[in-house]
């Protein structure tokens, strides 16, 4: 068995360099949960750099690697390591009113690589990242509505509007810097 590749029946699954990059980005995703701005909303999650990293990973890596990164991060959080927004962890965190914002990340990390295509286009990648923002914030808002018994207007005003401006800025910035990151790979 070759030490530089993960193999099964002599078929290469993931070269070591790619596996290391996936591990590095999973670690950075974990760290990004701590880079945050508190929100004045009661029980609301902090605004973190996690969205930025989720969009970066989803627009940079192929779907399999993006899914692997999200799976590693998600499982670390489920088993109790404090890698979710603001250092949260566990199933209880995920079913809390604002938990859906966190479990929407793996969805985005699968959907965006599927729709973005292989050839970089600044406009299309920006649109894909904005789609990612909408997926995260709509899922989060709907879960907040369900768990808090809010009407749609209240859920929209507390679970969507406060997050959209910074999320859109992060999405647009990520889409613009993808070429610089692609040169590193």
Question: pTM (2 decimals)?
Answer: 0.88
Instruction: Look up tokens 């509505």; give the residue.
Output: 145
Residues (pLDDT < 50) of the chain are 1
pLDDT at res. 37: 78
Chain segment 13-51, per-residue pLDDT in tens: 889 999 999 999 999 999 999 988 777 766 666 778 999
* Other beta carbons within 10 Å of 154: 13
Beta strands 5-8 and 47-48 are unpaired
Q: Domains in the chain, ordered, with CATH?
A: 16-184 (1.10.1760.20)
Question: Measured between alpha carbons, how far is residue 26 from residues 29, 50, 83, 85, 169 in Å?
Answer: 5, 11, 10, 14, 22
33 φ, ψ (degrees, to nearest 5) = -65, -20
Give me 81's structure tokens: 């390591």
pLDDT at res. 182: 87
> What is the rounded CA–CA span in Å between residue 149 and residue 154?
10
> What is the rounded CA–CA span in Å between residue 126 and residue 174?
8
């Amino acid at each position: 068995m070759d030490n530089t590749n993960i193999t099964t029946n002599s078929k290469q699954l993931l070269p070591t360099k790619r596996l290391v990059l996936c591990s590095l980005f999973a670690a950075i995703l974990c760290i990004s949960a701590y880079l945050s701005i508190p929100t004045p909303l009661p029980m609301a999650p902090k605004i973190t750099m996690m969205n930025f990293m989720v969009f970066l990973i989803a627009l940079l890596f192929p779907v399999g690697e993006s899914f692997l990164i999200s799976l590693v991060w998600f499982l670390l959080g489920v088993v109790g390591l404090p890698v979710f927004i603001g250092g949260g962890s566990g199933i209880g965190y995920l079913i809390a009113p604002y938990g859906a914002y966190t479990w929407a990340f793996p969805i985005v990390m699968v959907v965006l690589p599927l729709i973005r295509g292989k050839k970089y286009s600044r406009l299309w990648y920006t649109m894909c990242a904005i789609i990612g923002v909408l997926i995260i914030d709509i899922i989060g808002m709907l879960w907040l509505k369900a768990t808090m018994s809010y009407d749609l207007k209240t859920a929209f005003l507390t679970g969507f509007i406060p997050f959209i401006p910074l999320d859109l800025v992060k999405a647009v910035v990520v889409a613009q810097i993808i070429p610089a990151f692609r040169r590193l790979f």
